[in-house]
Structure 1
Amino acid sequence: MFFKDVVGQENIKSRLIRSVQEQRISHAQLFSGPSGTGKLAMALAYAQYVSCKNRSETDSCGTCPSCHKYQKMAHPDLHFVFPIFNAKQFNKPVSDDFLPKWREKVLANPYFELSDWLSHIDAGNAQGEIYERESESILRKLNLKSFESEFKVMIIWLPEKMNIACSNKLLKMIEEPPSKTLFILVTENEEGVIGTIRSRAQLVKFPFVDNQSIKNALLKIEGVDPAIIPDAVHLASGSYLKALSYLSPSDDEQFYFQKFQEMMRFAYARQVKDMIDWADEMAKIGRDKQKAFFAASLRLVREYFVSNMKRSEIVYMNRAEKDWGKKFAPFINERNIVAFADEFELAIKHISMNGNPRIVFMDTGLRMVRLIKR
């Protein structure tokens, strides 16, 4: 991964490059920011630059043996930790057991979310987690001498998913790191990382990506219709991942929208039996997807409420959502918008607290019956 492949974030690129050139590399760094801002891509580009044998003033060379191995994510001094699940084919699995799948996913596109990753590894209903046993694997790898590079690099994606026991063991490693070790923690929920780790890592805040950078990146994609790029940039709201999803909505996004439509149709028609069947179906998807569905529903009611104001510049929906909303939007109004938002936020909370998903979906669906005709 090269710095030039990271969309936008020029200030952060310059800062990281300068730290390497001035030999002021902090041993633990926390890359924090919203989804789609390029944190993982930047971590990979930074690690490649640190290990490059012929780095330039602006990027790694791409031709030295180290760069070739980094581009395949197969460098012996590059290590990864990421959320996994207890797959039956492995006995007490760790991240290394899923490494081929991880390489496949990241090399295809380093801009993705946890739900995309869990779908890629067929996690089903499981929630991604970094287990306590992962700390033993980290310690074993980092206590080895570097094979080729000056630094051993450990990239931990979504440390907020780390088991508390694993977090405490990682803290000890960060406090007393092995020689020439670089930890890069990539988080979308800074507050979810234990405070003692945050206090010992150098924070690198990732802002939203500027519109011009997103536009330039989309124009480079082969086969993209330039006419739809302005809408994609507007919908992105600073997230390159959202811009990509506008061009090609993911299966999950299409599924969430379809199930939102079904829920509202059943609620409007007071089709309780259909709502029960709908709740049974939604209860079978994974908890991360269940939370993502309610988050998508929360976004949609907000957008439909705002669309009633005839202010297109502050509406962020794709074409399918806009088209359906022409008839549905009037049902989201000042008499029920707050109640809708409260119900979806409460559902997310209950799913996060391991509430019975069938009851949560059934209860939420029935409450929609009462709210939609206000």
Structure 2
Amino acid sequence: MKNMLWQEIPGLNNIKQHLAELHLSNTLPHAILLKGEDGNAALPLALGFMQFLHCDDAYKKNQPCGECKSCKQTQNLFYPGFRLVLPKFSSSQKDTEEKDITDIFYQLFKENIFVTFDDVLKEAKGKNKQAIISVQDIHQIIESVSFSSVGNKYNIVCIWHPEMMMPAAANKLLKTLEEPPPQTLFILVTNKPDELLATIISRVQQISIPDFSQKEIIDFLIDKHSIEPAKAREIAEISNGNLNKSLHILFHFDEYSELLNDFKEFAKLSIKYDYDGIDKWIKKYESAGREALKRFLEYALDILHHSLLQNYQLHHLIKTSLPEKD
């Protein structure tokens, strides 16, 4: 039996059980909002729940069986009753060499189910562009589910990062949530629920997806990637409960060393009031693009946070055993 997404997500048994009971008890709402950090379980849970709903034998084990005809059809996330909506570049922003964001997402998701939208943008070479969900995107999806049928199975629309909907798109979705098509489930996945219309929030059942525990990340890294427990613990300590970040550290350990060197260089230039040096340093990151600068700033904030904790002798709260401590 091939594992389905449900089984690939470590822990979160209470949430999996809650979702399963919504379906098995016939109390499934027409719209669910899964809110959790990008790079954690919210998106794979949404897509795994789609597999669960279409499995012919899910009721036997409270998880997709991986063997029935429906499971085999949904393993690659291509299924007549499933639609995925994600932000895209507007036509005016597209380059002739630009890759399709949806294709990139599926490619990256096959490699890592905890992929983030930043990962997708980076691969799409859209580091300095704004991705959106347009009213046309919402209209096409709603129209397609209105005319599709998968027997007695649900039509499922998964909207990833609905906070990136344009105002007209958000209003279009709101009208649909007020009068949803029959046998249709909308699953919204976001890490910024506060940016959604309050009227949309009022029409969905919200489920908070927590970060992974250190133990869950350690066990995952050891079981799936066969690394030494000490290294798994080291990575888990600085990933702040984010599995995608853990995997990024695992596969790009050298990049994190480079970020540390860049931070040291910037700190030395700042202490010396070396304005010419600072200007050159800034231009280097300008040429690298928005996402590279964003990664550096996130990394720098982590170091500054750890430094403050160390300064106030709150050593038990410092979650790193890497060279940043020095």
TM bin, normalised by shorter chain, reads 0.7 to 0.9
Number of aligned residue pairs: 319
Q: CA deviation at 1:294?
A: 2.7
Q: Gapped runs of 5+ residues in structure 2?
A: none
Percent identity over the alignment? Answer: 26
Name the structure 1 match of 2:106: 103
1:354-369 superposed matches below 5 A? none
Work out which of the residue numbers 49, 60, 65 in structure 2 matches 1:61. Answer: 65
- Aligned residue type for 2:62: T
- CA spacing shift, 1:232–1:251, aligned 2, 3 Å: closer
1:15-30 superposed matches below 5 A? 15-30=18-33
The 4+ residue runs of structure 1 with deviation greater than 6 A are none
Answer yes or no: is the 8 Å Cα contact 1:62–1:68 preserved in 2: yes
- Say which SS state the counterpart of residue 29 (structure 1) adopts: strand
Answer yes or no: is the 8 Å Cα contact 1:51–1:149 preserved in 2: no
Name the structure 2 match of 1:280: 283
Distance (Å, rounded) in 1 between the aligned partners of 2:232 and 2:255: 22
1:70-109 deviations in whole A, cap 9, x for unaligned? 2111112111111222322499x9xxx5332221111211
Pairwise CA RMSD: 2.5
Name the structure 2 match of 1:88: 95
Work out which of the residue numbers 4, 8, 12 in structure 2 matches 1:9. Answer: 12
1:59-208 superposed matches below 5 A? 59-85=63-89, 86-89=93-96, 97-147=100-150, 150-208=153-211
- TM superposition score normalised by structure 1: 0.77
- Aligned residue type for 2:227: V
1:302-321 superposed matches below 5 A? 302-309=305-312, 311-317=314-320, 319-321=322-324
- Say which SS state the counterpart of residue 155 (structure 1) adopts: strand
- Aligned residue type for 1:61: C
- Aligned residue type for 2:13: E
Answer yes or no: is the 8 Å Cα contact 1:39–1:186 preserved in 2: yes
Q: CA deviation at 1:292?
A: 4.3
Work out which of the residue numbers 293, 299, 305 in structure 1 matches 2:302. Answer: 299
Q: Does 1:223 align with 2:230?
A: no
- CA spacing shift, 1:28–1:251, aligned 2, 3 Å: farther
- CA spacing shift, 1:273–1:106, aligned 2, 3 Å: same
Task: Give the structure, 1 or 2, with the largest relative contact order (CA under 8 Å, sep 6 or more).
Answer: 2
Q: CA deviation at 1:279?
A: 1.9
Q: Does 1:239 align with 2:246?
A: no
Distance (Å, rounded) in 2 between the aligned partners of 1:37 and 1:288: 19
Q: CA deviation at 1:189?
A: 0.9
Answer yes or no: is the 8 Å Cα contact 1:32–1:39 preserved in 2: yes
- Which stretch of structure 1 is more off in the superposition, 103-112 or 272-281? 272-281
- CA spacing shift, 1:228–1:49, aligned 2, 3 Å: same
- CA spacing shift, 1:321–1:4, aligned 2, 3 Å: same
- CA spacing shift, 1:271–1:226, aligned 2, 3 Å: same
- TM superposition score normalised by structure 2: 0.88
Distance (Å, rounded) in 2 between the aligned partners of 1:45 and 1:211: 23
Distance (Å, rounded) in 2 between the aligned partners of 1:65 and 1:89: 39
Distance (Å, rounded) in 2 between the aligned partners of 1:228 and 1:254: 15
